[in-house]
């Protein structure tokens, strides 16, 4: 097992990364419980895979569980499901010193984290991410929230978890497409700030694709270390934490354009968005023309989407996609800021990007 610590003074917490951690869950709770009761929120997919094991080990340790199962999918990261979750916690008399466990992927983690932030003005919660995407990204750093009709993650709070327990064994049970979508976030870390890590991924991608435990632990731990370092320096995204959004402005627009459906998963959108960010950087003369080709080839070798054209179904036209991008949280004074690069591992915040250049790379991706 590997441990990554996020040192945030009195809000510091550990990220535990290893195999079969759910089986040992009570051990990690020993110093955290104020009473022998714990709330668990999960979705119907994870209920069938991991819930009974978690409930059983907690029961054997004399810990009572209260369980809420929600519908899976990005469309349930909504006002309605948030209200259902908060009302359920109140009906079950979950107290401020109790703990709620978010057992699932990014949707469950974001939703439960936000519910924990607002319930009784803040209760404790543990992230137990079961997808690669959640293990390397959404479970770490305290960003919580829901989507609205105006866009993704526009309502939420910065609220750090009490602990993150990433059981690599859960990755063996998810569908290949969902697993690969999470890989988009792993690659993002190399692209934004660690060239050597990106090269390591190019060398070890076959083992990752085969879900080799040792390689996965290394990839997840390094991703968490990179994110933790950025979060420590800029917890509430007033500066360099925005670098973690490499590819995300394009991604969020594409998610909105596909109604947050399984036509394109979040991590797939991140992969496409990263390529578009490098395409735009190359078009602006900031990075070499070879970089986006190299990255596109890597995602292709993993069997992932690598252009907008790969997204099935009808999409809005280019002007409408750019308009969706202007709902991004990084828009300031009506001007679009993007995360661009000066090469692999050298991301930076670019201000006031010419929309015509953005339209150009979108059109090329639609045609490629």
- Active-site annotation, residues: 121, 143, 185, 227, 237, 241, 245, 248, 252, 266
State the CB neighbour count (10 A cutoff) for residue 114.
Answer: 24
Distance CA 257, CA 322 (A): 11
* Structural tokens at position 79: 């006002």
Distance CA 40, CA 153 (A): 22
* Structural tokens at position 41: 């929120």
Closest CA to 259 of 314, 309, 180: 314
Distance CA 106, CA 313 (A): 24
* Structural tokens at position 205: 């991608």
Distance CA 29, CA 12 (A): 16
Distance CA 168, CA 182 (A): 13
Distance CA 172, CA 280 (A): 36
User: Do residues 84 and 70 make contact, with C-beta atoms less than 8 angstroms apart?
Assistant: yes
User: Do residues 310 and 272 make contact, with C-beta atoms less than 8 angstroms apart?
Assistant: yes
* Structural tokens at position 359: 């339209």
Give the C-alpha distances (Å, rounded to integers) separating 115 from 89, 150, 218, 263, 353: 9, 20, 31, 28, 35
Distance CA 207, CA 209 (A): 5
Tell me 121's DSSP state: G
Distance CA 246, CA 192 (A): 7
E strand spans, the chain: 2-6, 13-18, 37-43, 64-70, 99-104, 124-129, 143-148, 151-158, 163-167, 338-341, 347-350
Strand partners of residue 165: 16
């Amino acid at each position: 097992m590997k441990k990554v610590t996020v040192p945030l003074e009195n809000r510091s917490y550990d990220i535990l990364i290893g195999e079969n951690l759910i089986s040992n869950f009570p051990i990690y709770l020993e110093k955290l419980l104020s009473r022998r009761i714990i709330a668990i929120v999960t979705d119907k997919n994870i209920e069938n895979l991991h819930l009974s094991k978690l409930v059983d080990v907690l029961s054997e340790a004399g810990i009572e569980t209260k369980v809420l199962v929600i519908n899976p999918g990005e469309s349930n990261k909504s006002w309605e499901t948030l209200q259902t979750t908060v009302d359920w916690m109140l009906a079950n008399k979950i107290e401020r010193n109790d703990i709620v466990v978010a057992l699932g992927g990014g949707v469950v983690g974001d939703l439960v984290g936000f519910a924990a932030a607002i319930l009784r003005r803040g209760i404790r919660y543990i992230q137990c991410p079961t997808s690669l995407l959640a293990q390397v990204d959404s479970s770490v750093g305290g960003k919580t929230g829901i989507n609205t009709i105006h866009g993704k993650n526009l309502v939420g709070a910065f609220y750090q978890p009490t602990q993150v327990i990433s059981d690599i064994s859960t990755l063996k049970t998810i569908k290949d497409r969902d697993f690969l979508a999470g890989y988009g976030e792993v690659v993002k870390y190399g692209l934004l700030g660690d060239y050597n890590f990106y090269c390591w991924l190019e060398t070890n991608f076959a083992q990752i694709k085969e879900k080799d435990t040792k390689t996965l632990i290394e990839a997840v731990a390094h991703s968490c270390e990179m994110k933790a370092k950025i979060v420590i320096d800029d917890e509430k995204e007033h500066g360099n934490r925005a670098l973690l959004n490499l590819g995300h402005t394009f991604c969020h627009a594409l998610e909105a354009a596909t109604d947050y459906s399984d036509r394109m998963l979040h991590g797939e959108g991140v992969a496409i968005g990263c390529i578009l960010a490098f395409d735009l950087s190359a078009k602006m003369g900031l990075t070499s023309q070879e970089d986006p080709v190299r990255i596109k080839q890597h995602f292709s070798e993993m069997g992932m989407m690598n252009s907008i054209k790969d997204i099935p179904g009808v999409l809005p036209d280019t002007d409408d996609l750019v308009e969706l991008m202007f709902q991004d949280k990084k828009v300031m004074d009506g001007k679009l800021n993007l995360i661009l690069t000066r090469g692999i591992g050298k991301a930076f915040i670019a201000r006031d990007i010419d929309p015509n250049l953005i339209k150009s790379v979108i059109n090329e991706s639609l045609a490629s």
